Structure 1
Amino acid sequence: MGGMLERPSTKRPRLGFLGLGWIGRSRMQSLAETGLVDIAALADPSGDCLAEAAALAPAAAQGRDLDDLLAAGCDGIVIATPSALHAQQTIAALDRGVAVFCQKPLGRDADEAARAVAAARQADRLLGLDLCYRHTAAMQALRDTVRSGAVGEIFAADLVFHNAYGPDKPWFYDAALSGGGCVMDLGVHLVDLALWVLDFPPVTKVSAQLFAGGQPLTSRAQTEDYGIATLQLASGAAVRIACSWNLSAGQDAVIGADFHGTQGGVSMRNRNGSFFDFDAHHHSGTSSRPLAEPPDDWGGRALADWARRLAQSPGFDPAAEEFVQLSRIIDRVYAAGLAE
């Protein structure tokens, strides 16, 4: 038969990786181990980062920037660069007809995120975002239990992510580059988990308090190191989030999610201060039964899921609109949290 044929779904996508620091290399290695893709090209302005990644994928072409990856003829690009670059690099790749999987945040504000999603829709290309905690066994089990109706109607939720450390790259502390502090870094996961578990309901009201060095945040030019926010949902339910950097938490991290229903509750907790090990439980009165527990190798699952979908079809997934809704709520948290 003559003419153009669709790429068979059994063919492995050729991927390029842009940004090869710890998270970029970690995601690349986890995906390589699945055998789902061919790692075709690597790019990073740092020779050291490039060399470390090349040791994991020696057959991949090497370059320094996005143009080098696009020249390599990739089907998709995985972006793990500083936040200020995410939207523009995502849009540039999509405009060339290349699918994208990006580290969060997709944009420093909702306008950047919306433009990236619009580019994906216009190009009819798959756009993914590394909202990795959705893919933990604990959160999957928690969501399934809520969706089953086993805890009744959810009327409140509390989610926390306190990090006893802070980011190790200076750009995280420059709001012009990062878009914000701990809310942009950690709070985005909490807001996403709450909305994802509850099927992205409308948020009718947002209140917040943000702090930098123990003092109320007065300008978006600052980066907050502690934030709390309450989201009121259209159902009347309340979602509270709290997150921080460099908090005296008594352990490496405090990560948790509680959803309170009219007939019971569910919870997720990190085990022994771990950033990686999580338990989930279903509560009824004073009794509790486990839903999930470690070990659980979840770090690369969001990327692997995107890669599987890319192999099946490179077309736009309307679920990407959730990324814009998430970013709009983060914008509302910052607007509500600035001290008068």
Structure 2
Amino acid sequence: MIALDQKEEKKTLSLGFIGIGWIGRNRMEVLLNGGQVKADVISEPFEQNAIEALKLAPHAQVIDNPVDAYANPELDGVVIATPSALHASQSLNALSSGKAVFCQKPLGRTANEVRQVVKASQKSDKLLAVDLSYRYTRAFQAVKETIQNGEIGRVYAVNLVFHNAYGPDKDWFYDMSLSGGGCVMDLGIHLVDMALCCLEFPEIEAIRSHLFSKGVKLVPGEERVEDYAKVSMLTEQNTAINLDCSWHVSAGRDAEIEATFFGTDGGVSFKNVNGSFYDFKAEKYHGTQTEELVSPPDDWSGRAGLVWAKNLLKGVGYDAISATELVKTAEVIDRIYGRQS
């Protein structure tokens, strides 16, 4: 776990938490336990969620409307864990009010929404980060380092897989207007981000996607969320990227999660262990040989938020590099859905 360095920084961050369901409470708990963070404001429409959150932050003020958090001059930033349809507008309002933002993914339902939020971060010079949490696992960091050190040569193919045997339990996930998409937006976005990150965000020259709902192939632009997706992409360097993801699939286990990179001198892979959503390993391949680089345990949950908080304590504002990456990933997701960016 990354802890905030209390010796290096004297300041304590005052944060507002907008949406504190189980993900929001988890991120709150990790931030509070990391040090130098206090939860001063909680915005949550469901009373039971607020009651549970107050057990973690008994002195926090519970408010009905997040607008009151944006207007609070004492807050350094807000942590957003609400349904996807609200992410862009809430992030935009917070940034425009001078608050740094840490938001659950996706930052927006479309690339246009993401661009608007990024523009607000730039204009206000306030730090924006998105909880693309798998980036912060030890396993993924080992994979990225292996690739970028040139240990497997030039990467020419990437296989991305995320099958969830359950799927979401909230109705809004299945409404395109609220979610922006189905399993690709929910699961595939993690893997697309991971692949682009390891390949240093190349331009994608071609995308071909096949989206299905309950076994029926969807027409491009159809306003129905997909529960199965098969996507092929080709980068400007002629690296082939294949993505398979799904909800409610008969996977034979809770989940199958994998990002495998094939290079001219070997391969490297990020994989979940025994169908787990939480345990990951990294393996390096050479011919028939397998070398384990990283194995569980790894307490990665909430680590992305701690990195954001540590940077906020250091006075980091608008981050042009990460902002550009967020837009590029969103543009790829738009193209998978056949949307105009």
State the TM-score, normalizing by the size of structure 1. Answer: 0.95
Matches within 5 A, 1:70-219: 70-72=70-72, 73-218=74-219, 219=221
> In structure 2, what residue type is equivalent to 1:86?
H
Cα offsets for 1:130-178 (capped at 9, x unmatched): 0000001100000001111110000000011100001111000000000
Conserved in 2, the CA contact under 8 Å of 1:77 and 1:101?
yes
> Shift of residue 314 of structure 1?
4.2
> Shift of residue 69 of structure 1?
1.8
Whole-angstrom CA distance in 2 between matches of 1:198 and 1:32: 34
> Shift of residue 36 of structure 1?
3.3
> In structure 2, what residue type is equivalent to 1:10?
K
Report the equivalent of 2:334.
Answer: 331
Matches within 5 A, 1:1-340: 9-72=9-72, 73-218=74-219, 219-318=221-320, 319-335=322-338
Whole-angstrom CA distance in 2 between matches of 1:36 and 1:282: 38
Report the equivalent of 1:5.
Answer: none
> In structure 1, what residue type is equivalent to 2:48?
D
State the TM-score, normalizing by the size of structure 2. Answer: 0.94
> In structure 2, what residue type is equivalent to 1:324?
V
Whole-angstrom CA distance in 2 between matches of 1:71 and 1:125: 15
Whole-angstrom CA distance in 2 between matches of 1:162 and 1:52: 31
Conserved in 1, the CA contact under 8 Å of 2:70 and 2:93?
no
Cα offsets for 1:176-213 (capped at 9, x unmatched): 00001001100101100000111111111111100000
> Shift of residue 293 of structure 1?
0.4
> In structure 1, what residue type is equivalent to 2:272?
N
Conserved in 1, the CA contact under 8 Å of 2:11 and 2:36?
no
Identity over aligned pairs, percent: 49
Classify the secondary structure of the residue corresponding to 2:145. helix
Cα offsets for 1:19-64 (capped at 9, x unmatched): 0111101111111111131211111111111111111111111112
> Shift of residue 68 of structure 1?
2.5
Cα offsets for 1:272-321 (capped at 9, x unmatched): 10000011111111111111000001011111000000000141011212
Whole-angstrom CA distance in 2 between matches of 1:12 and 1:230: 46
Whole-angstrom CA distance in 1 between matches of 2:291 and 2:238: 28
Whole-angstrom CA distance in 1 between matches of 2:238 and 2:36: 43
Classify the secondary structure of the residue corresponding to 2:177. helix
Whole-angstrom CA distance in 1 between matches of 2:126 and 2:251: 42
Judged with a 3 Å threshold, the aligned counterparts in structure 2 of structure 1 residues 233 and 298 are, in CA distance, closer, same or farther, namely same
- Which piece of structure 1 moves more, 144-153 or 311-320? 311-320
> In structure 1, what residue type is equivalent to 2:335?
R
Whole-angstrom CA distance in 2 between matches of 1:61 and 1:240: 47
> Shift of residue 9 of structure 1?
4.5
Conserved in 2, the CA contact under 8 Å of 1:126 and 1:317?
yes
Conserved in 2, the CA contact under 8 Å of 1:172 and 1:181?
yes
> In structure 2, what residue type is equivalent to 1:329?
V
> In structure 1, what residue type is equivalent to 2:26?
S
- Which structure 2 segments of 5+ residues have no match? 1-7
Classify the secondary structure of the residue corresponding to 2:258. strand
Conserved in 2, the CA contact under 8 Å of 1:36 and 1:308?
no
The number of residues matched between the two structures is: 329
Classify the secondary structure of the residue corresponding to 2:338. helix
> In structure 1, what residue type is equivalent to 2:59?
A
Conserved in 2, the CA contact under 8 Å of 1:36 and 1:304?
no
Classify the secondary structure of the residue corresponding to 1:298. coil
Whole-angstrom CA distance in 2 between matches of 1:16 and 1:220: 37
Whole-angstrom CA distance in 2 between matches of 1:220 and 1:134: 31
> Shift of residue 70 of structure 1?
2.6
Supply the RMSD in Å over aligned alpha carbons. 1.2
Cα offsets for 1:63-120 (capped at 9, x unmatched): 1221222344210000001111111110101111100010011110000000000010
Conserved in 1, the CA contact under 8 Å of 2:185 and 2:333?
yes
Classify the secondary structure of the residue corresponding to 2:337. helix
